[in-house]
Structure 1
Amino acid sequence: MGSLRDYKNWDIDWEMTPEDAVTLYLEWGNHPWDSKFAPVTSKNDYTNYFTVYLWDDKPRVLFVRRNSEEARELMSIELPKDIAERFRKSVGGLKGNYPVNAEVREWIETQMNN
């Protein structure tokens, strides 16, 4: 899968959340008229975004490319233990898929530029 450096020049939507991605790409008719995202008009429309995956014991960041046909996991990388614990605490220890917060984004960007 490479490293985060491989994606540093990609177009990344830092505002995309897992919920917004489902609304845009899987529930086309559910797109609100005042949304901050442009509506999907074809399978050629896609978004690249990060999400924090907390379904396992080891929290990780997923880099996802989604269109109306699929969500492709381009990269999965474990979060450093200290960041993972703070993130887990910030969501009350609940399992799930979450948008990145400022600390996780900063860590990702640092990894991309190293």
Structure 2
Amino acid sequence: MSELARFGNLDIDWNLSPEHAVTMYLEWGNNDWHAEYPPVRSKADFSTYFVVDTWGERPVVRLIRRNSEGADELATIPLPNRLANRFIAEYGDLRGIMEPTREIKDWLKAELGHD
């Protein structure tokens, strides 16, 4: 069983990028009510999403649950070598927190049992 399978019941926002999350939760008033992601209204508003973290030696995927008070890291999963190597080939030595590629999202969905 996949390490991520235990999170299979969560409602994952597959389109939420790290940039959108910052706009929604950390820069209140910086987004439009008619945007894809309108401003949060209360502490009860939260999102669950994945990011790729490249600050370490190899990229890892982090499952994040965020609201206006902060972010909780629910899981950190190393990418399989084939996905990590493709990600590195595309982004080089760029360090940061990035949105997963389509290929990584497909792998994550399979790991969660969301095929």
State TM-score, norm by structure 2: 0.91
4+ runs of 1 displaced by more than 2 Å? none
2:58 aligned with 1:58, yes or no?
A: yes
Structure 1 equivalent of residue 105 of structure 2: 105
Structure 2 equivalent of residue 4 of structure 1: 4
Instruction: Give SS of 2:29's match.
Output: helix
Mind listing any 5+ residue stretches in structure 2 that lack a counterpart? none
CA–CA distance in structure 1, aligned partners of residues 14 and 39 of structure 2: 17
CA–CA distance in structure 1, aligned partners of residues 58 and 44 of structure 2: 33
Q: What pairs with 1:1-114 in structure 2 (closer than 5 Å)?
A: 3-113=3-113
Q: RMSD of the alignment, in Å?
A: 1.6
1:23 Cα deviation from its structure 2 partner: 0.6
CA–CA distance in structure 2, aligned partners of residues 113 and 35 of structure 1: 30
State TM-score, norm by structure 1: 0.92
Tell me the percent identity: 42
CA deviations over 1:36-93 (Å, ceiling 9, x no partner): 0132000110000000000001211000000000110000000011100111222233
CA–CA distance in structure 2, aligned partners of residues 17 and 60 of structure 1: 16
Matched residues, number: 113
